[in-house]
Structure 1
Amino acid sequence: MRLTDLHRTTGFRLATLFLILFGAVAILLFGYLYREITGFEQERIDDWLIREHAELQREEPDELVARFEHQNQFDPRHQRPFGLFDATGKHLAGGYAGDLPAIPVFDQPFSMRLAKLPDHLPGRCIAARVPDSRIALQCQNTRELDHFDEELLHALLSTALITLVIGLVGASLIGISAMRRLDAVTASIEEIVAGNLSRRLPMHSKRDDMDRLVGVVNGMLDEIERLMNEVKGVCDAIAHDLRTPLTRMLGGLERAQRRAKTGAEYRAAIDETIVETGGLLRTFNALLRISEIESGVRRSGFTMVDLAAIADDVFEFYDPTAEDKQIAFELQRAVSGPLDIQGDPNLLFEALANLVENAIKFAPHGGHVRITVFRDRTSAGVTVSDDGPGIAPAEQQAVLRRFYRGEASRHTPGSGLGLSLALAVAGMHGMSICFKDATPGCEVLLYKPTE
């Protein structure tokens, strides 16, 4: 992003908006302070003029000339020029030289230029009619007050200008920082689009709203990478796992073509092909089943389900299988009453059945398999434990992937999709699957955190 695009960034616009709002408030505040300060000084001068005017009204007429001359002796700099004038406006006494100026109003303070004094100084005056048709003019030189007002206004304007410059610099820095972060994010996204799915958007230590958004996007990228790897792994696994049965099918048909002489031999070849084809169809059906579950289309049909009752059904269904293998199969309830959750009873039965079927499959002849329904302070669910070879800690997450076959199950019949289907059902119901080492054997937990 170029610097010419700085004004388009959200950070710069927000900073500029706050600067404008702050400037408007500052102008109102400065105007109020300027008005109050200058008004206070003028009110102080007006109060003094009114007091002088009141004392003048109490003065004896014969003593006015002496009063004005006496005041003039103590005011050589004409800070408070007083003047006494006759009825024709001729100067009689006081430091205000020259004829009487135009009086806009009597007995009230007013502003005017002291034209008869050097530099035509500004002043605040009050005029009064006294006996013998004379006019008394009392003034206060306001040059210092005007100078103070100018300095105050200059200070306020300078402060406003400095604030504006600092605000624009700050807005620019914020905008440049936002541009750099966006450039870094854009570069990362372009690299991801180019095919590097391991790339992640950069995060800072500020933990601001941008970092929260980046964190969500990185989480989404983690999930996308996981799904892509899973799809790749599934494709590789399908190619690997289907190659063997397809090779057997092709080999069987070719042998039947070369060697079969009787109808019985052809039927045997056909039966073998049907068995292999059935296995392939079961694999594809399992994949379609997992995809259907992961799509969540059946979530709309959720009802209140008793997980303990489903555990009872699974126990009854697999009890004959365990008995045939001479496995001690038992069901334990660590809770009394129902264990209700929102879900699909058929899918939950299928998930728990896969766990129990694996436990019975890998338990040794004469071994033990136990289903336990539990509820504690943090979670509720079902555990399935056996005393078989168990799952190595390094493989506990891998066995949940599609088609993955651990070392202990590599030579055992199966497609490697049972745990993947159980995981998909668990995710659909907001549940989790984890493994514990039963030493010997394995314990699988299908649980949901309690709210």
Structure 2
Amino acid sequence: MGRSWNTTTFRLLSVYAVIFSISVMLLIGFIGYAVTGQMERKADVVIQWQLVYFGSLPDNTLADILQSRVEHEHMHINYYGLFAADGRHMAGDVLMLPPGLSVERRGMTLEHTLSVAGVKQAPVVRAMAVQRRDGTILVVAHDLTQILTIRLDIINALIGGGIFFLVTGFAVGLAFGVRQMRRVKAIHRVTVQIAQGDLKQRLPTGGHDELDLLSNLVNHMLDEVERLMTEVKGACDGIAHDLLMPLAHVRTLLVHAEERADTLNDEQLPNMVARARSNTDKVLERFRAMLRISEISALQRRGGFADVQLAALLSEVGELYEPLAESKSIKLVVQMEPVGAIHADRALLFEAFCNLVDNAIKFAPTCGTVCITLTRMPFGPQVDIVDNGPGIPSSERQAVLKQFYRSEQTRHIAGSGLGLSMVSAVIRVHDFTIRIGNAEPGTRVTIACWS
């Protein structure tokens, strides 16, 4: 029972039971009010017609007619009483003039207070009185006992049915709660196996409720994790392949350097040492880039986030790379519109934009152009970095964002294939969007700086 209370089904059922109980009580109250009002109105109509009939009779015959009607009344639905102006009983089975009863034909409900001849317990009646021309007072009462009995039966049926449905609902809810707990236990059992390293396991599904929705989402996540693990393995294989040749060169060059160590005036020794240093630097550069991408991708907290002015940041990037562009006879253009501040990590964005501009300058031809543009869009600022280099085929524009991928068109240019991967990691941390398009000619990298 304690575990069942912790289930959403049982809690919702308990809330529903409270609402259901309140609704039934309100319904009973409404039915009682409506039935009572309708009962009194119909009784008033019956009494009014009887008063009209008795009003048409002569005064000297009314007492005899009332006495005759009382004697022949078998159902005892109606009661009659004729009283003198001073309240003295003259005829009929109503023995006393009800106190407070108006003589202006206004209905009044009397609950066990009407004094009736031959009745041990006074009934519940609807009474009405009128004063005749001769000063006598005529009282007519209509018995409501049968109607009240029907009303009580309806209310008892509602109460009994409400209790039955409430108990049944609790029982069904408890059964559903037990079923949900069994499913939760099955999910827990599978998640333990997954936590122990069995990524082939998937959460059980088979319904269409929130648990199945969650299970499907987790299963999709596990599919992505398994895919990423496969990609990591592929990346590790690529690392081994890419590092094999530089390390082999380093080993060979160092062997030759050792053989010639005794000949200090050997002219080839400095060249071999420089080549060994160059290959070693390539290895270290790739390792540093890989570690930086892992660091950015694993960034969970946004402690370094603050308001960042993109215009100032891009101006710094342009000033930093302007000498490099000039050394390669490349024109670096920075165009900016006034935009508001964004919430971001300035250091990460600076690193990402530097990588993009560095790539653009690297792949732009001599006397080419690299343009950095900041535009104000309806949803936020947008940054475009455009070059007029060889461009990226549409089939490779998503692949270049992955680690170690290099296009066949650019393999002759030095690089590790990690720059755009680092940019992609920064963009994911900020929940921004990156798109690679065709600048006709060249490449256009667009970063939408909004979530």
Distance 1:310 1:416, change over 3 A: same
Q: 2:384 aligns with which of 360, 382, 385?
A: 382
Q: Would the alpha carbon gap of residues 187 and 367 (structure 1) be closer, same or farther in structure 2, given more than 3 Å must change? A: farther
Aligned pair count reads 420
Which sections of structure 2, spanning at least 5 residues, go unmatched? 84-88, 102-109, 130-137
Partner residue, 2:107: none
Q: Which amino acid aligns with 2:309?
A: M
Counterpart amino acid of residue 318 in structure 1: L
Secondary structure, aligned partner of 2:444: strand
Unaligned runs of 5+ in 1: 86-90, 129-135, 324-328
Q: Deviations along 1:223-252, whole A, 9 cap, x unmatched? A: 756764554444333333223222322333
Q: CA RMSD of the aligned region, Å?
A: 5.4
Contact 1:363–1:369 under 8 Å retained in 2: yes
Match in the other structure for 2:14: 16
The answer as to whether partners of 1:369 and 1:385 remain within 8 angstroms in 2 is yes
1-structure distance, mates of 2:190, 2:294:
31
Equivalence for 2:408: 407
In structure 2, what is the equivalent of residue 88 of structure 1? none
Question: For 2:77, what is the secondary structure of its paired residue?
Answer: coil
1:247 maps to amino acid: A
Q: Give the deviation of 1:66 after TM superposition.
A: 1.9
Q: Give distance in 1, aligned partners of 2:345 and 2:145.
A: 91
Preserved contact between residue 80 and residue 139 of structure 1 (Cα < 8 Å): yes
**SS in structure 2 opposite 1:358?**
helix
Q: 1:316 aligns with which of 316, 319, 322?
A: 322
Whether the 8 Å contact between 2:331 and 2:367 is mirrored in structure 1 is: no
The aligned runs of 1:350-369 (5 Å cut-off) are: 350-363=351-364, 366=366, 368-369=368-369
Letter in 2 for 1:415: S
Deviations 1:165-188 (A, max 9, x none): 785588579768967986886687
- TM-score scaled to structure 1, two decimals? 0.67
Q: CA deviation at 1:24?
A: 1.4
Closer, same or farther: CA 274–83 of 1 in aligned 2, 3 Å: closer
1:122-159 CA-to-partner distances (Å, cap 9, x unmatched) read: 56498x9xxxxxxx997644443244234433443465
Offset of 1:398 from its aligned partner? 1.9
Q: Does 1:447 align with 2:447?
A: yes
Structure 2 CA distance for partners of 1:347 and 1:45, relative to 1, 3 Å: closer
Over 3 Å counting, the alpha-carbon distance change for 1:214 and 1:368 in structure 2 is farther
Q: How does 1:86-165 map to 2 (within 5 A)?
A: 109=110, 111=112, 116=118, 122=123, 124=125, 140-157=142-159, 160=162, 164=166
Query: Contact 1:83–1:138 at 8 Å: present in 2 too?
Result: yes
Q: Is the 8 A contact 1:200 1:221 kept in 2?
A: no
Equivalent position amino acid for 2:370 in 1 = R
Partner of 1:41: 39
Q: 1:75·1:81 contact (CA, 8 Å) conserved in 2?
A: no
Note the C-alpha offset of 1:10. 0.8
What is residue 236 of structure 2 aligned with on the other side? 235
Tell me how far apart the structure 2 counterparts of residues 15 and 164 of structure 1 sit (CA, whole Å).
Answer: 10
TM alignment of 1:180-329, pairs within 5 A: 189=191, 193=195, 195-196=198-199, 211=213, 228-229=229-230, 231-256=232-257, 261-263=262-264, 270-294=273-297, 295=299, 299-300=304-305, 303-306=308-311, 307-310=313-316, 312-323=318-329, 329=330
Distance 1:180 1:391, change over 3 A: farther
| Greater shift in the superposed pair: 71-80 or 172-181 | 172-181
Give me the whole-angstrom Cα distance separating, in 1, the residues matched to 2:355 and 2:254: 34
Q: Residue deviations 1:199-236, cap 9 Å, x none?
A: 68979989x8995x778767866775676455444433
Counterpart CA distance in 2 for 1:339 and 1:140 is 85
1:69 aligns with 2:67: yes
Name the counterpart of 1:435: 436
Structure 1 residue 311 displacement after superposition: 5.2
| AA at the equivalent of 2:389 | D
C-alpha distance 197-381 of structure 1, shift in aligned 2 (>3 A)? farther
Counterpart code for 2:304: R
Q: 1:21 is matched by which residue type in structure 2?
A: I
- 1:326 equivalent in structure 2: none
Pairwise CA distance, 1:406 = 2.7
Structure 1 residues 438 and 191: CA distance shift in structure 2, 3 A: farther
Q: Distance in 1 between matches of 2:28 and 2:225?
A: 57
Cα distance in 1 for partners of 2:244, 2:397 equals 26
Identity %: 29
Once the two structures are TM-superposed, the CA of residue 435 in structure 1 deviates from its matched residue by 1.9
**Cα-to-partner distance string for 1:278-337 (whole Å, 9 max, x where unaligned):** 2222222223333444437783466424255245325522224323xxxxx22345x565
Sort the Cα spacing of 1:192 and 1:36 in 2 relative to 1 into closer, same or farther, 3 A.
Answer: same
Distance 2:359 2:194 in 1: 39
Question: Given that residues 121 and 142 in structure 1 are in contact (C-alpha distance below 8 angstroms), is that contact kept between their aligned partners in structure 2?
Answer: no
* Pair 298,357 (structure 1): closer, same or farther in 2 beyond 3 Å: farther
